[in-house]
Amino acid sequence: MQGYLLKGAPRGEVFNAIRVVHGGGSLLQPVVASKLLRQMSAPPEVEETELLTPREREVLEVIATGASDREIAQHLSLSVHTVKSHVRNILAKLHAANRRAAVRRARRRGLM
């Protein structure tokens, strides 16, 4: 992403943003930039240990064994659909691209 404008941005700002981004630059409206900076500097709202729900931790422990979604579902008495949902949430919360990365990150953070 090279830039971000709010939906109600004036036409002139939109054209200017297109020129800037097309020229290789990046652009954030001041209101967007200040909100982003506030969020980045704010303390985390969730304790690191509370990042994952207890069930997500259970799923992650079984993921670490190399089990498939079906095997995880059988082991934890869940549906495959529910397991996939937990896996998706785990990957998002840990900002991991795949299961192996999620396990590595969780171990580094002391979550498992």
16-25, 30-39, 64-73: least confident range = 30-39
- pLDDT > 90: percent of the chain: 63
**pLDDT tens digits for range 72-99:** 999 999 999 999 999 999 999 999 999 9
pTM more than 0.75: no
107 φ/ψ angles, rounded to the nearest 5 degrees:
-65, -45
- pLDDT of 39 over the 90 cut: no
Q: What is the pLDDT of residue 52?
A: 93
Q: Compute the distance between CA of residue 112 and CA of residue 100 in angstroms, rounded to an integer.
A: 13
Q: What is the pLDDT of residue 41?
A: 78
84 φ/ψ angles, rounded to the nearest 5 degrees:
-60, -40
Asked whether 52 and 35 are in contact (CB, 8 A), the reply is no
